[in-house]
Structure 1
């Protein structure tokens, strides 16, 4: 396979990443062009990493950190894209890169470490920092729907560690619905199998009939949600979960939620 055949399929994804990182399309495309020129000038550099997409993003970030071609174009403040870009601008550069690579571009932690040229510990620290910085912008109340006390306590610690507040912990369908009606959370973490045999999925469906709120399902039974028979959840974590995965998912859900707000701002 030729160099161009390996690079071309990944360029649209690189352009998306570049725009999010730089804040506008013109600057992003300028960095992408500089990256392609660097690869053409030194083809062996592209083969230093076996995976073509990982290699392309790795070279791009080296270019991004060494050249200053960024030309800012402010997005309209009322647009969804503009809101997301403003949130990104407030993140420190390296945490922003780690967040975009893992939460937006879908790279695995192993791939992100190669692209960023960092250790596993350093990547975890970058993602954790991104989560805290995002929480400073969109801190909210989070409802936990979970019937296992130890897991609920772990989730509570993760939520509060990011700077959010746990509005309540519900163990059953009825408790979850009541909690939402009285507390109006900004995000829900939900198991699908609850105490007394009730369903977290049914509780969430009832909740979403009255309230528009992002939901992250944390379940040991992902096959019950990934059936293809109906719209599937955007955010799904399988038990046993990794703490960093939960943190990243919370940050991602709130970051791209157009209703995300500072706690108490709507009151």
Structure 2
């Protein structure tokens, strides 16, 4: 396949990434153009052994990182209509790249490691740094709906480690609904099968009938959610889960939640 045919389908994704990374489309497009010019000038530098999208993003970031100005932390934008952009600007450059590659572009951890040329441990540190900064900006109360005590304790430690608070740990449908009435959370982590045989999914549906809040389902039974019927969950983690995956998903859910943005900006 000609090199142009490998690259062309991925350019819209690169433009999206470049805009988020640079803060505006015109600056992002300038880097995209420089990336394409570099590939045309030296096609051998474009790795044929990698997925074309991975290779394209890796080439882009080599060019972007080659300028010292892009290694500095930026002053937040004063544009009141650009809440997401302001939050991105507050992330240090490398954690920002790792976060965007995983949360926005949906690259796998192995692919992100290849793009950034980092080890698994270094990627974990970058994502952890991004998660902590996002939590600092939109710290919130999180309701955990989980009937297994050890898993609930693990989730509580993850939540608090990121800088959030746990509003309650509910083991049943009734406890979950009651907990929300007592204190409205900014995020819900929910299992499906609960201690008394009740359903975490039904509890969440009842809660969402009265309040709007992002939900992350953490379950050993994903097939009960992915039925092909709408609505389906935006955020889903399968048990047994990796702690770093949960942290990244919490950061992603809060970062892109409009209500969290508004609360954070008001604070």
Q: 2 CA distance for matches of 1:48 and 1:166?
A: 47
Q: What is the RMSD of the two structures over their aligned residues, measured on CA atoms? A: 2.1
User: Where in structure 2 are the equivalents of 1:199-218 lying within 5 Å?
Assistant: 199-218=199-218
Q: What are the superposed Cα offsets for residues 86-110 of structure 1, whole Å, 9 maximum, x if unpaired?
A: 1000000000000000111000000
Q: 1 CA distance for matches of 2:57 and 2:152?
A: 37
1:127 is matched with 127
TM-score with structure 1 length normalisation?
Answer: 0.94
Residues 246 and 65 (structure 1 numbering): CA distance in 2 closer, same or farther, change over 3 Å? Answer: same
1:50 is matched with 50
Tell me, yes or no, if the aligned pair for 1:140 and 1:261 is still in contact at 8 Å.
Answer: no
CA shift, 1:76, in A, is 4.3
2:180 is matched with 180
Q: What are the superposed Cα offsets for residues 32-56 of structure 1, whole Å, 9 maximum, x if unpaired?
A: 0000000000001112542100000
- SS of residue matched to 1:56: helix
Residues 36 and 17 (structure 1 numbering): CA distance in 2 closer, same or farther, change over 3 Å? Answer: same
Q: What are the superposed Cα offsets for residues 101-138 of structure 1, whole Å, 9 maximum, x if unpaired?
A: 01110000000000000001000000000000100000
1:105 counterpart = 2:108: no
TM-score with structure 2 length normalisation?
Answer: 0.94
- SS of residue matched to 1:197: coil
Q: 2 CA distance for matches of 1:264 and 1:58?
A: 33
Tell me, yes or no, if the aligned pair for 1:217 and 1:235 is still in contact at 8 Å.
Answer: yes
User: Where in structure 2 are the equivalents of 1:32-47 lying within 5 Å?
Assistant: 32-47=32-47
Q: Gaps spanning 5+ residues in structure 1: where? A: none
- SS of residue matched to 1:36: helix
Residues 169 and 65 (structure 1 numbering): CA distance in 2 closer, same or farther, change over 3 Å? Answer: same
2:80 is matched with 77
Query: Size of the alignment, in residue pairs?
Result: 263
Q: 1 CA distance for matches of 2:134 and 2:233?
A: 22
